[in-house]
Amino acid sequence: MASTVTLEGVKKAVFFPFRGEKWGIKVLIGSALSFASFIIPIVPAIPMFGYFGQIIKRIIVQDEDPELPEWNDWGTLFLDGIKLFGAVLIYLLPALILMICGSILFMVLDFSLAFSSAAYTQYSSNPFPMSMLGNMVGMFGGMAVMMLGFVVAFVTIIFIPPALGNMIAKGDFGAAFCFKEWWPVLKANVSGYILAVAIALGLYYLMYMLAMVLYATVVLCFLLPFVFSFIVFISSLIGFSIFAIAYRDGVRKLAEAS
């Protein structure tokens, strides 16, 4: 039977990017797309998401352990990537709107505060007019809106993996937003999802710390963009795989309970 979210299953999910035939070339292509996505917005990330979708499909639909597929069917990669990327974007849209609005409010009122402070200081002896107080309150309001956006994003990210798993399992884009279908799967394997989140965050943190070591090294700091692109791709591979396994475990537990 294929692995579950246990120590053995997690071990397979963590190390599978470094196994199999031509794994180095496959990882190199994915890392190059990751690097390109920092230069050209969205477009290079689409086939990368499609690649993640193939791995999720192998785990959930084919009921097999994660394995790196070939980078050969680019049309399918783009189509699947658009679906995955679109679903993630729709889920994160409220958080993005809050963060953008908060940033704009903060920057506008920050500029207004600096301008009014300079002008008022020049023409008045009162060092703290009510308009400046209003601008400061608005700035803190902008920061609060941004922080609310981050909180909403964090909460939303918890629900995205089972939604994507349901979308790929059903082969339907709309299934990502069918709460009644994927919520029981999440509920049936809460412990597995908690473990998956902890592992994904822990691995990302370790890889991020490695990147910071390079950043602090004068000789090796020029490698940081390439290392960070590798980190994003590898951590995404592992994260999507672990969440797909957690979804599959939830489906199994629902079937056993019924």
Residue 45: CA atoms inside 13 Å, Cβ hemisphere, count? 15
Tens of pLDDT, residues 164-185: 999 999 999 999 999 999 999 9
The pLDDT value given to residue 2: 53
More confident residue, 169 or 1: 169
The pLDDT value given to residue 128: 47
Domain coordinates in residue numbering, the chain: 7-257
pTM for this entry: 0.81
Continuous H helices in the chain = 7-15, 23-37, 45-60, 74-123, 130-170, 179-188, 190-215, 224-257
More confident residue, 51 or 202: 51
Name the DSSP letter for residue 5: S
The pLDDT value given to residue 1: 46
Q: What is the mean pLDDT of residues 222-230?
A: 79
Tens of pLDDT, residues 125-134: 555 454 455 5
The pLDDT value given to residue 27: 95
Task: Report how far apart, in Å, the C-alpha atoms of 74 and of each of 43, 51, 82, 255 are.
Answer: 13, 9, 12, 35
**Residue matched to tokens 């089972």:** 162
Q: Please give the Cα distance from 235 to 241 (Å, whole number).
A: 10
Is the pLDDT at 113 greater than 90, yes or no?
Answer: no
